[in-house]
Amino acid sequence: MADDNRFVDLNKSATKAGDNREQKGGKGIILGLIMAFLLLIIIVVILILLIKDNRDIFGGITGNDSESVPTATVTQKADKTQEPTGVPEEKITPSATEAPKDPVAAKHCADLKSAIDLSGINDRNDAKAFVSTVNGNECLMISFEPYVITVRNDYILYGTDSYYSITVSDGRIEKTFDWPYIIDEDTINCFVPEVADFIGNGRDQLAFVLFTPEGKSSNSLHVIAAKDMLEYYVINPSDVFADSLYIDTFYDAGSARIAKIVANDKQYFVALPYMSLEEAYDTFELKTGINNFYTVHNGKISVSCLVSLTNAGYIGEIRSAVTFTSRDLFQASAPFFYLYTDDDFSDKDHMGIVTPLTLENAKKERVATVGANGERILVELTDYPRTTLDPDKYVTNTVTGLKEYIEDGKNIALFGVDVSRWNETIDWKKAKEAGVDFAIIRAAYRGTSAEGNIYTDTYFEDNIKKASENGIKIGAYFFSQAVTVEEAIEEADYIVKVLEPYRDLITFPVAFDTEKADNARANDMSADERTAVTKAFCERIKASGYKPMIYFSTVWSLMYLNMEELKDYDIWYAYYSDDIYYPYDYKIWQYTSTGSLSGFSGSVDMNVCFKDYSKE
């Protein structure tokens, strides 16, 4: 009975308590509803902001296959050296202390039609541009089959809408993006994307590289899927770049402090003003991610940036491929540091120490090569004439297997070989039938040993007779090991004597072959010495009635010769890769040393020539 009474008492207490809660509950319910309503408003606002910013709130794949990924936001460093050219300097959004400004109609490009004409875009075979009005706005229209790109030129300054609008359509899908851009004659071609399978999944993507109002020293990369026009994330490369090099230590050089910088397992040395070791560590710091600059070419994406030492200047660049990762984004991978240097960096009397440059000097035209110890370096170009050849016009004939240069639908290059006793006996009839137009035959050479004796190539006579009998145009070369001007003249006189019985057969140049060889007597010459030797040989050949030419590789010409002193002589350039980037004007390109051709029992050097010397 005690237990039953206990339950009755508890029930009565619960009833009274329930009455009290019921009276208070009305107010609680109202307050809860108000709080829930406010929370709902906050969630809706957040969702609207996220959708407006084109972000996938889950950070994952937005489509139903691996090609569709969330919208990217690319953050770029501002170029402090140039004034913005796309948007006026006034602030877009007035601060709290400023009075709001009235909206003003404005244009990215004041004269869009003239900019199109000056851009040369309508000279292209793959794209055409024109001006059109879309929804009341003047727009740059680009037809790039099957795509149409619409770039809004009009915008409202101090308005509420984005200053930028790029619409991409393929006839099925149309998407609009608010990527920042500049419109002028220099940037219009940038709105034509490169279409390729950058991911490697068998589907195309569109890559846009755009200059922004931050200046033309940097740009931004945007990649979208061709299938559904969804955009990929592009990660700012600055963090990757920052981890790719570091200051190892500072050396005391008496009048200077030398910074030892380590990058990609290579050592680089930079001369800085003298100060205490403690001051040096406090004063100088490596800065990367300056003016990130993207390039898209032949289905590959790359990015580079300037590298500086604070309070000193610019010392080089970092260059990197940009690749697609398993995390559904594009980012820099395998970055390499390149040091700014002069062309005497690898000279025997040079210490391999550089000084920082101003931004103006850092931006001068340079070409990449390697130093004596494998250092990656960027050498400033001289005023030797530049090539006008377009690397994209080189093709390999699918029938003959030979390299060609296609212009206006026709091959304009001659095909040739260069030979010596190492090729042994050659069937020149078969070589001619295989497509050989010309042959440059070694006539003589100097030995690489200290004695430096000169020899006639034992196969020269047989080669020149049989090649000419089969209608092949003939040139000759001398493999040099001259270390003095006197020896260079001796070499020239020797080859002229060897060629004399065949003078009428020589219609192509007589070349000076200068290159590095194992333990060779001429390896340690300075650039000044080697340039003097080269000039002496070429002038002697010219005086003998032949056309002189110089044979060398990229490194040899950039680091071991003074090209500005060799403008009077044609170049025979050796480079064994399809991604040719040589800046100087060359007339013959030796593109492989391991070619296979009918008439030759082993490998053969193959060349293309862009000048028919026999017609001069």
CATH class of 391-615: alpha beta
Q: Has residue 431 got a pLDDT over 80?
A: yes
Confidence of residue 157 (pLDDT cuts 50, 70, 90): confident
* pLDDT tens figures, 105-150: 999 999 999 999 999 999 998 999 999 999 999 999 999 999 999 9
Question: Which pLDDT value is given to residue 532?
Answer: 97
Residue 500 pLDDT level (bands cut at 50, 70, 90): very high
How many whole angstroms separate alpha carbon 237 and alpha carbon 290?
A: 10
CA angle at 583 for the pair 218 and 341, rounded to the nearest 5°:
65
What is the rounded end-to-end Cα distance, in angstroms, of the chain? 131
Looking at the chain, the whole-number percentage of residues with pLDDT higher than 70 is: 84
pLDDT of residue 425: 97
Q: What is the pLDDT of residue 230?
A: 93
**Are 219 and 189 in contact, with CB atoms under 8 Å apart?**
no
Residue 291 has φ and ψ, to the nearest 5°, of 55, 60
Cβ atoms of residues 307 and 245 within 8 Å:
yes
- Which of the four pLDDT bands, split at 50, 70 and 90, describes residue 581? confident
The residues with which 324 forms a beta bridge, in sequence order, are 330
Q: Answer whether 379's CB lies under 8 Å from 343's CB.
A: yes
Confidence bin at 25 (pLDDT 50/70/90): very low
pLDDT at 474: 98
Q: Is the pLDDT of residue 296 over 80?
A: yes
Is pLDDT at 96 greater than 50 in this prediction?
A: no
Q: What is the 3-state secondary structure (H, E, C) of 313-373?
A: EEEEEEEEEEEECCCCEEEEEEEEEEEEECCCCCCCCCCCEECCECHHHHCCCEEEEECCC
Distance, in Å, from the CA atom of 610 to the CA atom of 509, rounded to the nearest integer, reads 13
Better-predicted residue by pLDDT, 356 or 157: 356
Produce one character per residue of 22-37: b if its CB has 16 or more CB atoms within 10 Å, e if not: eeeeeeeeeeeeeeee
List where CATH 3.20.20.80 sits in the chain. 391-615
How would residue 486 be classed by pLDDT, with cut points 50, 70 and 90?
Answer: very high
> Pairing relation of β-strands 256-263 and 104-107?
unpaired
Q: What is the pLDDT of residue 108?
A: 96
pLDDT tier for residue 348 given thresholds of 50, 70 and 90:
low
Upstream peptide bond of 391 is cis (omega within 30 degrees of 0): no
The rounded distance, in Å, linking the Cα atoms of 126 and 187 is: 17
**Mean pLDDT, rounded, of the chain:** 86
588 has pLDDT over 80: yes
pLDDT tops 70 at residue 76: no
Phi, psi (degrees; rounded to nearest 5) at 608:
-120, 145
Query: How far apart are alpha carbons 591 and 610 in whole angstroms?
Result: 13
Q: At 347, is the pLDDT very low, low, confident or very high (cuts 50, 70, 90)? A: confident
Count other C-beta atoms under 10 Å from residue 409's C-beta.
5
Average pLDDT over residues 379-403: 94
| Cα–Cα nearest to 289, from 320, 251, 258 | 320
Mean pLDDT lowest among 88-97, 269-278, 352-361, 552-561: 88-97
Q: DSSP code of 76?
A: -
Mean pLDDT of 345-351: 71
Residue 605 has pLDDT above 70, yes or no: yes
pLDDT at residue 488, as a whole number = 98
Report the C-alpha gap between 436 and 608 in whole angstroms. 10
Is the pLDDT score of 491 beyond 90? yes
Q: Choose the most confident range, by mean pLDDT, from 94-98, 157-161, 342-346, 394-398.
A: 394-398
pLDDT band per the 50, 70, 90 thresholds, residue 30: low
Instruction: Give the pLDDT score at 180.
Output: 96
The per-residue DSSP string of 174-198 comes to: EEEE------STTTGGGGS-EEE-S
Query: Which of 31-40, 182-191, 326-335, 350-359 shows the lowest per-residue confidence on average (mean pLDDT)?
Result: 31-40
Q: Is the pLDDT of residue 60 over 70?
A: no
Picking from 588, 459, 564, 572, the residue whose alpha carbon sits closest to that of residue 514 is 572
* Distance from C-alpha of 240 to C-alpha of 115, rounded to nearest angstrom: 37
d(CA 91, CA 543): 68
